[in-house]
Structure 1
């Protein structure tokens, strides 16, 4: 019935963020026309957290070695809005996107649903 999920990042500079995902993160992509790139994401999972008031949605990239990934991305000129912190459930940091937005990156300590 459902065959996939489509994630949308809103950006103040979509071209710069598309170039970042294409060139820095190296995600494969298709051009849907006019430079409108759609990227293949790594395996994914979804969690539902309780919220007070209106809910919100967040996107986090996951990795097996956050310190190694941060070092590799730093060598590519990536800026981080938040350094690596221990959250108990994993090690978390925040990538600053060229368009001004932030993107979470973490090394999970919890079981990964995408490995099912």
Structure 2
């Protein structure tokens, strides 16, 4: 029934954001027409967190990695700007990085079990 998930990032400078995902992060992509790139996302998982009524329906995107210190070093060498220091949150190490023309994304190294490589439901 469900075959995938399509994440949308809204950007004031879509070309700069697309170049970041294509050239800096190296995400594979297809051109849906006229330079409208659709990127292959890394394996993913979905979490549902409790929220007050004003935050219900809000979604966030965090990229995940196995070694946050190494990933930060690699991305800084490519010119990526980090907007927060790395912090320990109990559930993982986390920071945020700037996406040109599109705000920030979370980046974290989870300490919890992950679901993105499960081969069967629950």
TM-score range, shorter chain: over 0.9
Greater share of strand residues, 1 or 2? Answer: 1
Paired residue for 2:68?
A: 66
Alignment-derived partner of residue 113 in structure 2: 111
| Moved beyond 2 Å, runs of 4+ | none
Offset at 1:115?
A: 2.1
Q: Please report the TM-score for the alignment, with normalisation by the length of structure 1.
A: 0.97
* 1:20 and 2:25 aligned: no
CA distance in 2, matches of 1:26, 1:115: 21
In the TM superposition, residue 114 of structure 1 has moved relative to its aligned partner by 1.0
Give the root-mean-square deviation of aligned CA atoms: 0.8
SS at match of 2:41: coil
- 1:30-49 alignment, distance < 5 Å: 30-49=30-49
Q: Distance in 1 between matches of 2:17 and 2:102?
A: 9
Partner of 1:82: 84
Q: Distance in 2 between matches of 1:67 and 1:74?
A: 11
SS at 1:80 equivalent: coil
For these two proteins, the number of residue pairs brought into alignment is 116
Gaps of 5+ in 2: none
Distance 2:52 2:109 in 1: 27
Q: Which runs of 5+ in 1 are unaligned?
A: none
**Which position in structure 1 is the counterpart of 2:4?**
4
